[in-house]
Amino acid sequence: MGTSAASSGPKNDSPLIPTWCGELPGIDGLDPIDVPEGGSDEPNGEGKAELPPISLPPDAKRFRAPRASLTSFSRTGNSNTLNRALSEYVGSASGGARTAAHRMAGPQRTASKILSFAQAVASVGTPEALKQFGLKDCQGKPVDEILPLLIDALCLDPGGSIDEGIARDALADAIADLSEQGLDMADEFSEEQLRELFIGFVSNSIKDRVINDVGVNCLAVPDDTLAVQGIEATLSAVISGCVRDAVGGPLSDFGSIGSQQLTKITHEIYEAAYHLLGQLTTE
């Protein structure tokens, strides 16, 4: 069980929100007024600007509980332990649904592009939408031939970061699942196809993040390949169910959503899905 974006997983003392959200400019790049000589522009050091408090380090043991529960699920297949693992992952390990959603900034950009592509198809048709997304040469081809080419058009540029790997892997799996569903693959995308593509992508991206955060190098999985596939299928089904529930409201009137709202709507869907995962209970 794993993804093409697999890593050794985060360390226990890794921050909940990555530090790559922005880099501070070098001293040479600052305006002189921002770096007064002597550390203050007031006599005797008075009037110094107060710095924000340093965030407390995360709990070094926060991954222990979800890893133990997920390991138990991998050994027994008991759905209660899977629910517990996902609930603990969102709550104790990720700091809640809002923080978990913020950590998915990269995949959210791809999800927004999927919605943007869907809106373009709905308004101007598949050929013109393909042209707008740099796929003019795909015009007239069957949908099953176009789908794989959407990965480069909708994902971040390949580079090697976990976010980029998760986005590309999640979309590739969503495309494969869509093809296997037996939907009519004509030369025009349907609303149903693009909705399923979006749900599949969001579900897969969350699943891949869970595996990278909690499951890598931590699970004692069965030697039987079919058993491993069954474990991943169960994990996918639980996450997909929460994503479908989260999508229902925000996308119920998809045609009325403005292009400027897509990013906000996408974030709300991720946060709602994580909230539902965090509320999973055992019986």
Q: What is the pLDDT of residues 43-65, one digit of tens each?
A: 555 555 666 555 555 565 777 88
Is residue 272 one of the residues assigned to a domain? yes
Is residue 130 one of the residues assigned to a domain? yes
Is residue 139 one of the residues assigned to a domain? yes
Note the pTM of the prediction, 2 decimals.
0.76
How confident is the model at residue 255, as a pLDDT?
A: 63
How confident is the model at residue 201, as a pLDDT?
A: 97
Q: Is the pLDDT of residue 140 over 60?
A: yes
Is residue 31 one of the residues assigned to a domain? no
Is residue 182 one of the residues assigned to a domain? yes
Q: Is the pLDDT of residue 186 over 70?
A: no
Is residue 59 one of the residues assigned to a domain? no
Q: What is the mean pLDDT of residues 189-195?
A: 87
Structural domains in the chain (count): 1
**Structural domain containing residue 109:** 69-248+258-278
- Find the DSSP H helices in 9-104: 64-76, 79-88, 97-102
Do 274 and 97 form a contact (C-beta atoms < 8 A)?
yes
Q: Which of 2-6, 71-75, 140-144 has the highest mean pLDDT?
A: 71-75
Q: CA 5 to CA 133: how far, in whole Å?
A: 25
Is residue 44 one of the residues assigned to a domain? no
**Average pLDDT of the chain to the nearest whole number:** 78
Higher-confidence residue of 138 and 186: namely 138
**Cβ atoms < 10 Å from Cβ of 236:** 17
Is residue 226 one of the residues assigned to a domain? yes
